[in-house]
């Protein structure tokens, strides 16, 4: 389900700039595609194409609803043997539709349904019963990457760009990534979650977040080869992908050899201590790569950073189900602004006014009390909770319609 290999990442820009990609996604929102997800039947193969190219295939409520519908139907269909997922245009998926959250800021729980459906879907993607292959030829960020990493096979290219930059805008690393990141080598997960550092396709393969690297020029032929298999057998699918895959040769500028620094700094107990340790390392000769990352951390939401670090740390001791239930509570409480309105201020600065000058509240790490952070992790009132199936017999139960959230 999840693969861990030798740790590797490229020199990352600071996290807030990683989120600039969302600006591009929002600029095309005035054009609405009729079919946000296109489902196709090709023999025994089923192909789902995320079809909002002008919006970089950001995930809306309609996207989640359609994907879940397809995946449930296909898992139950005896004629379906193999599932392929890809994105139209130059992105696989740039993650959640930020403006959707911003537009609902004045109405309590306006996005509760899409959040519930997405996390419920994440569980089913991780535990899917048939062989899936994600073909990731472009941007794969945040929630969009939840359609890549958990797949039985995830194929990346030289155009693939991955990041989880949510903490920088007052949100948190969600869609199962408190589970995924907490299982990366050393403290790489904390590093990726707090800094929003980008990884390229080869680096994703090297750390086990993707299975194969295939040049983009060969991707169409690979897809045709998979469609022609008439098989969902794991070994057969793997063999077919390997016919097109290339060995990963790492770029000389990779910071693979900086894992020891990352582990030393990002193992510290608190965000403040992490930044202090990282700054100390950055002052040493040869560690200039740290400077832009520190700048990004200091520009990020203090509340978002603290919530994210705790969630990743807790994830080490939690099951997938526990992580998703926890992330659901965190997300709903953040969107309710129970301790801070930072998420809306972060989205405003990034995609609405585009001034890149968020005014965080609280403004510093010292002002973010641990007692306040505790509130974000607490269960909500009534039956507002994510229902994860407990047995195979009721695997596709617990939908939003039958939950206490509806």
| Catalytic sites, residue numbers | 96, 143, 166, 174
Cα–Cα distance, 163 to 75 (Å, whole number): 29
C-alpha closest to that of 83 among 217, 202, 223: 223
Q: φ, ψ for residue 198 (rounded to 5)?
A: -90, 145
DSSP state of 12: P
Q: Where are the alpha helices (DSSP H) in 233-391?
A: 234-242, 259-266, 271-282, 290-299, 302-315, 320-335, 342-347, 370-377
Residue 163 CB-half CA count within 13 A: 25
| DSSP-derived secondary structure for 221-248 | HHHHHHHTS----HHHHHHHHHTT----
**328 with 172: CB under 8 angstroms?**
no
Cα–Cα distance, 118 to 120 (Å, whole number): 5
C-alpha closest to that of 83 among 53, 127, 128, 142: 128
**250 with 202: CB under 8 angstroms?**
yes
Cα–Cα distance, 68 to 24 (Å, whole number): 26
């Amino acid at each position: 389900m999840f693969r861990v290999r030798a740790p590797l990442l490229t020199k990352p820009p600071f996290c807030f700039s990683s989120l600039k990609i969302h600006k591009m996604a929002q600029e095309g929102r005035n054009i609405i595609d009729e079919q946000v997800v296109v489902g196709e039947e090709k023999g025994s193969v089923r192909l789902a194409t995320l079809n909002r190219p002008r919006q970089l295939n950001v995930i809306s409520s309609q996207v989640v609803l359609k994907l879940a519908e397809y995946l449930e139907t296909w898992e139950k269909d005896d004629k379906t043997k193999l599932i392929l997922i890809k994105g139209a245009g130059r992105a696989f998926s740039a993650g959640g539709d930020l403006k959707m959250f911003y537009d609902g800021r004045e109405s309590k729980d306006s996005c509760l349904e899409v959040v519930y459906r997405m996390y419920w879907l994440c569980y089913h993607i991780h535990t899917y019963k048939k062989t899936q292959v994600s073909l990731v030829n472009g941007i794969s960020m945040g929630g969009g990457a939840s359609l890549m990493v958990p797949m039985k096979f995830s194929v990346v290219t030289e155009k693939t760009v991955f990041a989880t930059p949510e903490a920088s805008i007052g949100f948190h690393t969600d869609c199962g990534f408190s589970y995924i990141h907490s299982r990366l080598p050393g403290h790489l997960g904390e590093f990726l979650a707090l800094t929003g550092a980008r990884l390229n396709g080869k680096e994703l393969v090297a750390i086990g977040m993707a299975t194969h690297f295939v040049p983009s020029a060969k991707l169409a032929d690979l897809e045709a080869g998979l469609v022609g298999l008439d098989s969902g057998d794991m070994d057969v699918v793997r063999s077919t992908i390997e016919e097109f895959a290339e060995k990963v040769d790492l770029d000389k500028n990779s910071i693979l050899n900086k894992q020891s620094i990352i582990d030393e700094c990002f193992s510290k107990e608190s965000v403040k201590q992490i930044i202090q340790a990282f700054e100390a390392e950055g002052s040493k000769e040869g560690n200039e790569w740290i400077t832009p990352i520190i700048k990004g951390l200091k520009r990020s939401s203090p509340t978002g950073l603290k919530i994210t670090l705790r969630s990743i740390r807790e994830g080490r001791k939690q099951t997938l189900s526990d992580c998703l239930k926890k992330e659901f509570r965190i997300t709903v409480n953040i969107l309710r602004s129970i301790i801070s309105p930072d998420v809306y201020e972060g989205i405003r600065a990034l995609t609405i006014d585009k001034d890149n000058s968020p005014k965080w509240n609280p403004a510093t790490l010292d002002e973010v009390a641990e007692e306040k952070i505790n509130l974000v992790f607490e269960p909500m009132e009534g039956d507002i909770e994510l229902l994860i199936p407990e047995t195979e017999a009721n695997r596709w139960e617990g939908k939003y319609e039958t939950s206490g959230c509806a």
